[in-house]
C-alpha cells in the first residue's frame, strides 16, 4: 500500500544526502587552498613588514642576523633571469612543435608529438633536474650553473606550451586558411601570418602558464643552479639562486631570521604566480593545466 510511496521518500532522502555529500567533499577539496592563501599572506606580510619592503626586495639575505635578516634580492633577480630565458627557449621549440601537431592533425607525426609532450609533462621534475645536472654540471661546465637550470626548466614547461598552443591552433576555422591559399600564399606563410596570429591569445596563455611554472618550480633547480644568494650573479655559466630554491633551503634552517625570509619569499612567489595566472585568465575564460 504505502510501499511505492515510502520508497519514493527514501529515494528523495537519499538524493538530498548524496548531493549534500558531494558538495561537502568538493568544499573539503578546495578548503586547504583558503588556509594556504591566508597563512602565506599573513606570515609573509608579517615578515616583510618587519624587514621593510624595499630592503626585502633589494637586499642580500642575512639568515643568521635577527636584527636585520636582509632580503631576497639576488634570488629574485635569479628567478626573473631563469623565467625569462626559459620562456624564450621553450617557446622557440614549443611553437613549431605545436604547429606540427595542429597542421598535420590525424597523421602519425602529429599523434606522436602530442604523445611525447604528454609523456614529458608527467615525468617527475626532479628527474629532469638530475638529467640537466648530468649533462651540463657534471660533464660540460664542471660546477653548478644557471644554464643547467634553464635547460631543466625548459624541458619542464615545454610540453605545457605545446599542448595549450596546439589546442588553440586547432580551433582556427578552416575558412581562414582557404582564404589565404586562394590569395596564393604558401603554407608556411599562411601559418605564420594568418593562422598563428589568429590563435595568438591561446598561444600567449600557453606561454604564460609556462612562465608561471618556470617561476615556481623547485625540484629542477635542486642540483643545477647551486643556490647562491650572497651576491648578484648575472653570468649564465656561474652559480645562481632562485626564490623557490631559497624558500626550500631557508625554511629548513633552525634560525628564525632564515625562516622569516622564507615566509616573505613565499608570499612574493605566490604573488608572482597568481598575477601571471590572472593575466592568463583574463585572456581566455578557461585555463587548462
Interface positions, 113-142, toward other proteins (CB under 8 A): 113, 115-120, 122-128, 130-131, 134-135
- Within 247-266, which residues bind other proteins (CB under 8 A)? 247-248, 251-252, 262-263, 266
CA distances from 143 to 7, 85, 220, 232, 234 (A): 73, 20, 16, 18, 16
First to last CA, the chain: 55
Q: Which range touches other proteins (CB under 8 A), out of 10-18, 66-74, 199-207, 232-240?
A: 10-18
Quick one: 84 or 93, whose CB is closer to other proteins? 93
Question: Minimal distance in Å, beta carbon 83 to other proteins?
Answer: 12
Q: How far is the CB of 179 from other proteins (least distance, A)?
A: 17
The reply on whether position 211 binds other proteins by CB under 8 A is no
Of 75, 148, 153, 158, the residue at the interface with other proteins (CB under 8 A) is 158
Asked whether position 56 contacts other proteins by CB under 8 A, the answer is no
Nearer to other proteins, 71 or 190 (CB): 190
SS3 61: strand
Asked if residues 264 and 47 have their Cβ atoms less than 8 Å apart, the reply is yes
Burial, 117: exposed, middle or buried (Cβ in 10 Å; 0-12, 13-18, 19+)?
buried
Which one of residues 22, 49, 53, 231 is an interface residue with other proteins (CB under 8 A)?
A: 22
Q: In sequence order, which ranges of 239-255 are alpha helices (DSSP H)?
A: 243-251
Residues linked to residue 197 through DSSP beta bridges, in sequence order? none
Asked if 29 is part of the footprint of other proteins (rule: CB under 8 A), the reply reads yes
Which residue from 155, 199, 225, 258 is in contact with other proteins, where contact means CB under 8 A? 155
Residues that bind other proteins (rule: CB under 8 A) add up to a total of: 90
Shortest distance (Å) from residue 116 CB to other proteins: 4
Going along the chain, which residue ranges are E strands? none
Q: Which is nearer to other proteins, 23 or 234 (CB)?
A: 23
Least distance between other proteins and beta carbon 209 (Å): 8
Could you say which residues in the range 177-196 bind other proteins, by CB under 8 A?
Answer: 186-188, 191
Binding of other proteins at residue 212 (CB under 8 A)?
Answer: yes
Residues 68-87 that bind other proteins (CB under 8 A): none
Q: Residue 106 or 175: which CB sits closer to other proteins?
A: 106
**Beta carbon of residue 230, minimum distance to other proteins (angstroms, whole number):** 18
Give least dist CB 248 to other proteins, A: 5
**DSSP string over 123-141:** S-HHHHHHHHIIIIIIIII
Query: Which residues between 86 and 105 bind other proteins (CB under 8 A)?
Result: 93-97, 99-100, 103-104
Amino acid at each position: 500500500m504505502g510501499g511505492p510511496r515510502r520508497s519514493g521518500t527514501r529515494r528523495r532522502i537519499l538524493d538530498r544526502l548524496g548531493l549534500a555529500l558531494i558538495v561537502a567533499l568538493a568544499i573539503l577539496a578546495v578548503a586547504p587552498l583558503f588556509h594556504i592563501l591566508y597563512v602565506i599572506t599573513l606570515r609573509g606580510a608579517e615578515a616583510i613588514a618587519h624587514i621593510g619592503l624595499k630592503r626585502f626586495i633589494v637586499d642580500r639575505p642575512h639568515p643568521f642576523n635577527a636584527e636585520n635578516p636582509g632580503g631576497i634580492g639576488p634570488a629574485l633577480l635569479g628567478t626573473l633571469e631563469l623565467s625569462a630565458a626559459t620562456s624564450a627557449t621553450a617557446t622557440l621549440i614549443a611553437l613549431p612543435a605545436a604547429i606540427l601537431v595542429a597542421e598535420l592533425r590525424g597523421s602519425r607525426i602529429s599523434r606522436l608529438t602530442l604523445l611525447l609532450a604528454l609523456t614529458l609533462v608527467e615525468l617527475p621534475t626532479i628527474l629532469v633536474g638530475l638529467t640537466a645536472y648530468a649533462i651540463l654540471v657534471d660533464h660540460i661546465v664542471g660546477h653548478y650553473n644557471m644554464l643547467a637550470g634553464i635547460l631543466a626548466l625548459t624541458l619542464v614547461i615545454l610540453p605545457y606550451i605545446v599542448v595549450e598552443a596546439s589546442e588553440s591552433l586547432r580551433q582556427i576555422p578552416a575558412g581562414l586558411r582557404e582564404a589565404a591559399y586562394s590569395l596564393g600564399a604558401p603554407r608556411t606563410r599562411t601559418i605564420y601570418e594568418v593562422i598563428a596570429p589568429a590563435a595568438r591569445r591561446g598561444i600567449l596563455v600557453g606561454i604564460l602558464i609556462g612562465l608561471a611554472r618556470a617561476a615556481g618550480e623547485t625540484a629542477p633547480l635542486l642540483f643545477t643552479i647551486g643556490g647562491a644568494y650572497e651576491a648578484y650573479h648575472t653570468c649564465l655559466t656561474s652559480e645562481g639562486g632562485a626564490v623557490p630554491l631559497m624558500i626550500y633551503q631557508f625554511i629548513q634552517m633552525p634560525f628564525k631570521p632564515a625562516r622569516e625570509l622564507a615566509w616573505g619569499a613565499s608570499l612574493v612567489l605566490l604573488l608572482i604566480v597568481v598575477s601571471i595566472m590572472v593575466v592568463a585568465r583574463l585572456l581566455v575564460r578557461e585555463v587548462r593545466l
